[in-house]
Amino acid sequence: MSENKTFYITTPIYYPSDKLHIGHSYTTVACDALARFKRMQGHDVMFLTGTDEHGQKIQDKATAKGVTPKQYVDEIVEGQGGVKDLWKLLDISYDRFIRTTDDYHVESCQKIFQTLYDQGDIYKSVYKGHYCKPCESFWTDSQLVEGKCPDCGREVYDAEEEAYFFKTSKYADRLLKLYQENPQFIQPETRKNEMIAFINQGLQDTCVSRTTVPWGIPVPFDTKHTMYVWVDALSNYISALGYGNNAYNDYDKFWPANIHMVGKEILRFHTILWPAMLMALDLPLPDRVFGHGWLLLDGGKMSKSKGNVVDPVVLCDRYSVDAIRYFLLREIPFGNDGIFSNEALINRINSDLANDLGNLLSRTVAMIEKYFGGTLPAERTAGEFDQDLIDTVCAMPAKVTECMDNLLIPQATQEIFKAIQRANKYIDETAPWALAKDEANKPRLAMVLYNLCESLRMAAILLTPFLPSTTVKMAEQLGLPQDSLRFDALTFGAKTEYTVQKGEALFPRIDAAKELAELAAEQEAKAKAAQAEAEKQAAAAMAQDAEPIEHLPEITIDDFCKVELRVAKVLTCETLKESKKLLKMTLFDGERERTILSGIAKWYKPEDMIGRNVGIVANLAPRPMMKGKYVSEGMVMAADMPDGGASVLFFPDDVKPGSGIH
Ligand code: MSP
């Protein structure tokens, strides 16, 4: 990591087209842990996050809701339960929140676009390509996967329009050189190879304006164009510092960024287009771009359209914010995809947070209260196992720091929990309850409990970036002033006296079987409610589309009883040379075989009919057909379809031929 004392870290700016889900929270929580860690190391940190508020998708959503796009995004960003509320709930310690609709950002973008145009890096041409509306991306033929959008797999449509282009291709060689000379620029390493391969395929210029999306920043010198998503979005990283505007004055202090943290699907924009834009503007390049994997659900990406989003607010309410933060940071291999499941979450909470951490604290505090009335005496005697515990705990800060420097967040948490587990083992080894039986052992008992307090204090300091509210509770129970959870206090023995106070369990143990059963029941109820709602909506839609029905005159039950409706089994079925419309069937009606000709040949093949039970009008007078060549003895019942087709009424195989239909 860079040597300077400032540290600038960014999340992507989120599309506020819908409420954010747990997948979005993952990036932000990871950045938050890094930002907090750097602050504790003494860096002057700028942690930027925000929202990317322009584009077709947002315009469409606003129109559907009958509000302006700005009103729509205001509600999702600033409103109750909106993006800012979610970050507050998750304890996200961002220093600045940028909205791309903020005036200062618009001003910067227009200046950047103008500069690039004036110097020939942006030019006007015609865009021909495939456009994916949900992703707001144009794709070339070779980029499509099976003719669909390579990112989301949805349909694309052909588009051609006048547009401005950024000369990305001009920077191909400089980009390759950048990757070669700065091996840390793209992380993880495997993703770098993907980017190199992409450039080597032949880099194309990037479409940077649209004429059909009014909800965007106008191109200053040609206002029928609006800026097309990426120039607007990527520029946020410098406009938020005051580049090209007077709202802030932090550009010189914080640029270049130390880390841009992004999801793997937008890594390309951040490692190709963004550095190329910065090269064109003659600005320094960020130190690193980290492309993390996705948080998947049952093997698929979470998305509103798939209806499989997990709501972070619901999870935080149920399990606590820190439990969710911990799960995200610990369970998802950084850089790779991770799977979210209720079971994995509950297991993680129980094993690490309740058993290892929670128990260590509660056992230690309880024993100090029980054996020493809450205050450890000064007379303490060292003994067996102490050094091994102290060595493990003392090695922890350097190991955690190394992991964090390399963005290995799960490994960093693991290092802390290794020390916590070591401390739990130390309790078993030293058996304080046995020592307590003999007054003469009290100095030894005091030392054992003191070593545990120091281990917990060191762990609490290092856990603060990950579990900020849990470590406040730990400090309270250990009798530590809140401001003592500092990295410069990471020396074993730095605190010599302890007066503890028992508090609530940090993470109550969850009865996994009961919880999972409850969740499954809730899920089922939700699914049922969703299905009922969908059916209700479908019925409403059908009623709206319904055409008037031509009714026949009313009949009496006696009239109805004159029609003999029965189930019959199709024994043979064949097409006729003389007619494209008719199928000729032999049916067993429960009593005898009869022949029926039915005008369903366009929609059914003989093999669709043979062996099936159908409904027939059995007492229809036999009718000669095909100039008397055949006689049809009844009628097969079928519904009219909207396209003019027919849908035959089939009965299950176990219905006996001859059964009456009423
Ligand atoms: N607006 C662009 C980013 C512009 S940055 C200059 C965008 N927004 S987004 O809201 O669609 O996604 C924001 C981030 O959330 C992306 O990094 C994306 O990878 C991340 N995630 C969205 N769903 C995710 C998961 N299920 N799992 C992990 N991260 C995911 O892209």
pLDDT tens track for 316-360? 999 999 999 999 999 888 778 888 888 999 999 999 999 999 999
Mutate to test the pocket of ligand 1, among 11, 14, 260, 290 (most ligand atoms within 8 A of CB): 14
31 token code pair: 């950045």
Contact residues for 627 (Cβ-Cβ < 8 A; gap 6+): none
For position 2, what pLDDT does the model report? 42
657 token code pair: 């031929």
Report the percentage of the chain scoring pLDDT > 70: 97
184 token code pair: 């840390």
Quote helix, strand, coil % in the chain, to nearest 5: 45, 20, 35
Q: Is the pLDDT of residue 508 over 80?
A: yes
| Fold for the domain defined by 342-489 | Isoleucyl-tRNA Synthetase; Domain 1 (1.10.730)
Contact residues for 258 (Cβ-Cβ < 8 A; gap 6+): 1, 2, 7, 8, 9, 286, 287, 288
For residues 427 and 455, the answer to whether their CB atoms sit within 8 Å is no
Place of tokens 């916590």: 420
For position 1, what pLDDT does the model report? 43
Domain 557-651 has CATH 3.30.43.10: no
488-497, 501-510, 634-643 — which is least confidently predicted? 634-643
Residue 533's pLDDT band (boundaries 50, 70, 90)? confident
pLDDT per residue as tens digits for the range 352-392: 999 999 999 999 999 999 999 999 999 999 999 999 999 99
| Fold for the domain defined by 6-54+61-98+293-312 | Rossmann fold (3.40.50)
Residue 463's pLDDT band (boundaries 50, 70, 90)? very high
Residue nearest to ligand 1 atom 8, measured at CA: 14
Mutate to test the pocket of ligand 1, among 25, 27, 329 (most ligand atoms within 8 A of CB): 27
For position 347, what pLDDT does the model report? 95
What is the CATH architecture of 105-231? Beta Complex (2.170)
Q: Is the pLDDT of residue 141 over 60?
A: yes
Decide which of 323 and 149 is more confident: 323
pLDDT per residue as tens digits for the range 50-105: 999 999 889 989 998 999 999 999 999 999 999 999 999 999 999 999 999 999 99
For position 308, what pLDDT does the model report? 66
Average pLDDT along the chain:
93
Q: Is the pLDDT of residue 242 over 80?
A: yes
Instruction: Indicate the pTM of the whole model.
Output: 0.80
Average pLDDT for residues 557-572, to the nearest whole number?
A: 94
- What atom of ligand 1 comes closest to residue 230's alpha carbon? 6
pLDDT per residue as tens digits for the range 407-437: 999 999 999 999 999 999 999 999 999 999 9
67 token code pair: 């509000």
Q: Is the pLDDT of residue 30 over 50?
A: yes
> How do beta strands 288-292 and 186-187 pair?
parallel
Alpha helices by DSSP H, listed for 431-546, are 432-435, 442-463, 468-478, 512-545
Signed CA dihedral, 26, 32, 33, 38: sign only: positive
Task: Determine if ligand 1 sits within 6 Å of the CB of residue 14.
Answer: yes
Q: Do 557-651 and 105-231 fall under one CATH topology? A: no
Domain ranges across the chain = 6-54+61-98+293-312, 105-231, 342-489, 557-651
Q: Is the pLDDT of residue 212 over 90?
A: no
For residue 402, how far is its CA from the centre of ligand 1 (angstroms)? Answer: 27
Q: Is 13 helix (H, G, I), strand (E, B) or coil?
A: strand
Phi-psi region of 57 (alpha: psi -120 to 50; beta: other; left: phi over 0): alpha
The alpha carbon of residue 272 and the mean position of all alpha carbons in its chain are separated, in whole angstroms, by: 24
Average pLDDT for residues 397-413, to the nearest whole number?
A: 96
145-154, 240-249, 295-304 — which is least confidently predicted? 295-304
Task: Determine if ligand 1 sits within 6 Å of the CB of residue 54.
Answer: no
Q: Is the pLDDT of residue 47 over 90?
A: yes
For residue 14, how far is its CA from the centre of ligand 1 (angstroms)? Answer: 6
For position 189, what pLDDT does the model report? 87
